[in-house]
Amino acid sequence: MQILPTIMMTAVAMTAIPHATQLSSRSSRSESVLVTAVFDGDTIRVTTYGRVRLLGIDAPEVGHGFDSAAPFGREARDRLTALVLHRWVRLEQDGPTLDAYNRRLAYVIRDDGVHVNAELVREGLARISARLPLTRLDELKRAEAEARTFRRGMWGAMPSIPPASYTRPAGAKRSATGTSRTKQKHRKKISGVRLG
């Protein structure tokens, strides 16, 4: 009769010890993994696990092909790159493990303790997208409130827009000399004015 309780205890103990390369149950951290690529403001690739989607947040889209980037999409990707690319991080799982695109869902924690998901939200480069109660949801909410209060990123500042210097004014045409007709007319007006 004592064999059954012993077997049960052994089975429980074996399931409680996670394999070294796997993320175990709710709110556990992986071993350190290296970030090898940043795809956009909320998706990275790490060694061992592949693509990882930052849990609980949503960054503006970068745009691919003919799609144009959403405001702050490039800024979010660039900031995430600066925070984690070629750095060691730990993945903290909380709730569902995969999203609809088969990406692992996790909080990304740098080895120096920086919670990357919250940092992007705090800087106004991502917002909360959690639909389930998450362990770090209160931390993310505080970060978003701070970004809104100080009008950071998408909560107040204007995205960087390339200057229009590479385009001609509407209606301006180039002459054979390479000078636009608008500039030629302006030069004629100036040359006809007597100074002094």
CB 173 within 8 A of CB 184: no
Confidence check: pLDDT of 19 > 60: no
Parse the chain into domains and list their residue ranges: 22-155
Tokens of 43: 């998706």
CB 36 within 8 A of CB 46: yes
Gap between the Cα atoms of 40 and 57, Å rounded: 12
- Mean pLDDT of the region 184-191: 50
Which stretches does DSSP call E strand in the chain? 28-29, 33-40, 43-46, 50-54, 57-58, 88-93, 104-110, 127-128
In CATH terms, 22-155 corresponds, of 2.60.40.1180, 2.40.50.90, 1.25.60.10, 2.40.50.140, to 2.40.50.90
Pairing of strands 104-110, 88-93: antiparallel
pTM for this predicted structure: 0.65
Confidence check: pLDDT of 11 > 90: no
Which has more pLDDT, 63 or 125? 125
- Mean pLDDT of the region 56-73: 82
- Mean pLDDT of the region 33-61: 95
How high is the pLDDT of residue 20? 36
Gap between the Cα atoms of 110 and 92, Å rounded: 11
